[in-house]
Structure 1
Amino acid sequence: MQPLLDAIAAMPLPTDACRIFHGRGGRFPGCEQWTLDAYPPVWVLTSFLPSGDETEAQLVTIGAALAQRWEALAPGQPLNWVFQCRNEALRTQGRTETRLMAGSVPDPHVVTEQGARFKVHVLRGQNHGLFLDMGEGRRWVRDYAAAHSADRYGLKVLNLFAYTCAFSVVALQAGARNVVNVDMSHGAMAIGQQNHQLNGITTGASFLAHDIFSSWGKITRSGPYGLVIVDPPSYQKGSFVATKDYARLMRRLPDLLAPGGHALLCLNAPELGVDFLQSQMQELAPELQFVERVANPAVFSDVDEDRALKVLVYAMPELPLPNAADPAPSAPAAP
């Protein structure tokens, strides 16, 4: 546990939501169960092992370390921290054990990232409203939207499995003309709409609380798109199983993308490596060209990058330019 305590002792005062310690990456032997995140003004400590007497003793030590560091960073300010247990038995049941260990949590709880504001909820559920490991993916979307903001017809974005629509917020902030957000969770989409309002975005976004696989007609009619974002859960019973359903998404990409458009494919499944995506793309959408793998935030580094979050960029070829050597079309004969 010492690497976690060392990280706490050295951490700066965070302003944006971010990860402070990532034991899950395997770089700190003996700390694989722990992660520590900052959702200012709240710290969230997560364990991926069952709670027990040993864990309770460790929580006392960690709490003391947080209190000591917080007093140095923000003298006189209350320490707010939450502990969540996500052991495998609880996770398979879709449950977590969450405890407020000290202080309080704002309601509503709004955090910032790269100039954008997002509503989060750290006291319930496994997902807190903003996936911190996707920070560089959101930065890539922001940069892409800014680079295409002056395109002749503007950038149209399709955001599949939109969750709370963070990709949509950053795309529209950066100059995208329109974003179509699709997710079957009405609750997540409602928070997504609030996220747009938090950032003063009143136009350009649409929200479809539909099952993607039952809505291809509507989705396709709204295209083609200059950017398609695919960020599904790796496994969600009754909704999406990556090993069988990701291929169904890949087959649709050539019909969804405009010439020169890009697709951002995301996968957070440790058991599925980069080849899972690349080999299927080669088979199912061979016309799309691989561009790059977007690097994860440095704090999320892993001893095996194949197990870490995968964010891959593919491009649809541009339409070929007319060949200057081709004869010009004949003028119509005079009547």
Structure 2
Amino acid sequence: MRAVLPVPAPMHALLAAIASAPRLTDAGRLFHGRGGLHPGCEHWTLDVYPPVWLTTSFQPVDDAALAALGDALSARWAQLAPGEPLCWVHQTRDEVRADTRTMAGQVPAPHVVSEAGARFYVHLPRGFNHGFFLDMAEGRRWVREHVAARPGARVLNLFAYTCAFSVVALQAGAGQVANVDMAGGALAIGQRNHLLNGLNGGASFLPHDIFASWGRLRRGGPYDLIVVDPPSYQKGSFVAEKDYPRLMRRLPELLAPGGHALLCLNSPKLGVAFLQDGMAEQAPTLGFVGRLPNPPAFADVSDERALKVLVYRAPD
């Protein structure tokens, strides 16, 4: 019989969230300790990529913590899905490495999750990123609604990763989406995501360095919507402080009259003013429309630290 280990006191908020967790059908976050609203749990997150529960710790954790998590998840899953096996993956990570372990059950292969009717491939057992960013749910919702009101829109999806924005734009009626990312492997998953959703045309996949491809991007425009969702720091690819201004100054020449740009930044070190001041200096002809709210599950003690998603519009 396994020894009973004491429950670490700082974990009580996370364990309470597990005890009351619903059974999600779409992928989503259930606990966001990173938002600073749960003292002692700042290093914890809990996500569900059905049917898999994913716990993530941004600092090392001991056996007592993992045992407490396992007990809590097993108990809750027995209530939510009697007779079904628990599937739980745990990742411990920092800025340079991630250690991911399957703690219970078996992760589906392939693993497909859904959001608002769209379906996406994810890969939990390896790497930092899982193929689908849960915190961008409001951005995808906005793109879906925005494009639905502008059928046939031409969209440029920069730093496209696995092309979730492209999928929802085409589902909403976009005429053409150009997906650009240096990572050819991510774009290949993006192509599979399109096929998974029955989207057999309307998208292009360009494995290019954006900063070396302005001529090609101009020839493909002008665009009614440009989505800019870069990493905040990726050595050799994009460093926000240095590279975002370079990108901003190109937006006016790529946008159609009345076109919109969706600018995203996920950096706790850079506030809203970084984007707003940069746009005022680099692209003063584009008007600020507003900031999108983040999903409630990603609530943060500071709007300045949280994900920033701003909408700008070109003049008519």
TM-score by length of 1: 0.91
Q: Does residue 1:80 correspond to 2:81, yes or no?
A: no
Return the letter of the residue paired with 1:38: V
Aligned residues: 306
In structure 2, C-alpha distance between the alignment counterparts of 1:283 and 1:216, rounded to whole Å: 20
Cα separation, 2, equivalents of 1:71 and 1:259: 55
The residue that corresponds to 2:13 in the other structure is 3
Counterpart secondary structure, 1:206:
strand
Task: Give SS of 2:41's match.
Answer: coil
Structure 2 distance, partners of 1:83, 1:22, is 15
Aligned-partner Cα distance in 2 for 1:165–1:180: 10
Q: Who is 1:206 aligned against? A: 204
Corresponding residue of 2:256: 258
Distance 1:217 1:125 in 2: 33
In structure 2, how many angstroms separate the alpha carbons of the residues matched to 1:305 and 1:176?
A: 31
Equivalent residue in structure 2 for 1:249, among 233, 243, 247: 247
Distance in 2 (alpha carbons) for counterparts of 1:212 and 1:132:
24
CA distance in structure 1 between the partners assigned to 2:176 and 2:315 by the alignment: 22
Amino acid at match of 2:84: Q
* Whole-Å separation in 1 of the counterparts to 2:53 and 2:250: 41
Match of 1:65 among 63, 69, 72: 72
What is aligned with 1:43?
A: 53
Matching residue's letter, 1:46: T
Computing the radius of gyration over CA atoms, which structure comes out larger, 1 or 2? Answer: 1
For residue 296 of structure 2, what is the aligned residue in structure 1? 298
How far, CA to CA, are the matches of 1:29 and 1:6 in structure 2?
Answer: 14
Note the 1:275-286 alignment, pairs <5 A.
275-286=273-284
3-state DSSP class of the match of 1:125? coil
- The Cα of 1:131 is off from its aligned counterpart by 0.4
Q: Please state whether the residue corresponding to 2:160 is helix, strand or coil.
A: coil
Runs of 4+ in 1 over 3 A off after TM superposition: none
Q: 1:44-193 maps to which residues of 2 (within 5 A)?
A: 44-51=54-61, 55-87=62-94, 91-92=95-96, 95-149=97-151, 154-193=152-191
Aligned-pair CA distance for 1:50: 2.2
| Aligned residues with identical type, % of pairs | 68
The one-character-per-residue Cα deviations of 1:54-74 (angstroms, maximum 9, x if unpaired) are x22111001100000000000
Instruction: Please list the CA deviations of residues 184-241 of structure 1 after superposition, one character each: whole Å capped at 9, or x if unmatched.
Output: 0010000000000000000100000111111111111000000000000000001100
Q: Aligned letter for 2:106?
A: S
For 1:33, the equivalent position in structure 2 comes to 43
Paired with 2:282 and 2:188, the residues of 1 have a C-alpha distance of: 34
Question: What is the letter of the counterpart of residue 25 of structure 2?
Answer: T
| Counterpart amino acid of residue 156 in structure 1 | R
Aligned to 2:226, what secondary structure does the other structure show?
A: strand
Paired amino acid for 2:54: V
* 1:296-327, Cα deviation, whole Å (9 max, x unpaired): 00010100110000000000011xxxxxxxxx
Q: Quote the offset at 1:8 in angstroms.
A: 0.6
> Residue type of the partner of 1:34?
W
Distance 1:143 1:274 in 2: 24
Once the two structures are superposed, residues 215-271 of structure 1 have per-residue CA deviations (whole angstroms, 9 ceiling, x without a partner) of 111111000000000000000001100000000110000000000000000000100
- 1:103, 1:142 → 2: CA distance? 35
Matches of 1:147 and 1:28 in 2, distance apart? 39
Could you say what secondary structure the match of 2:310 adopts? strand
Amino acid at match of 1:234: S
Which TM-score applies when normalising by structure 2? 0.96
* Residues in 2 aligned to 1:115 and 1:174: alpha-carbon distance in whole angstroms: 11
Q: Which amino acid aligns with 1:58?
A: A
The code of the aligned residue for 2:51 comes to P
What CA distance in whole angstroms lies between the structure 2 residues aligned with 1:209 and 1:165? 12
Gaps of 5+ in 1: 319-335
Unaligned runs of 5+ in 2: 1-10
Q: Secondary structure at the match of 1:117?
A: strand
Q: Work out the CA distance in 1 between the residues paired with 2:242 and 2:12.
A: 41
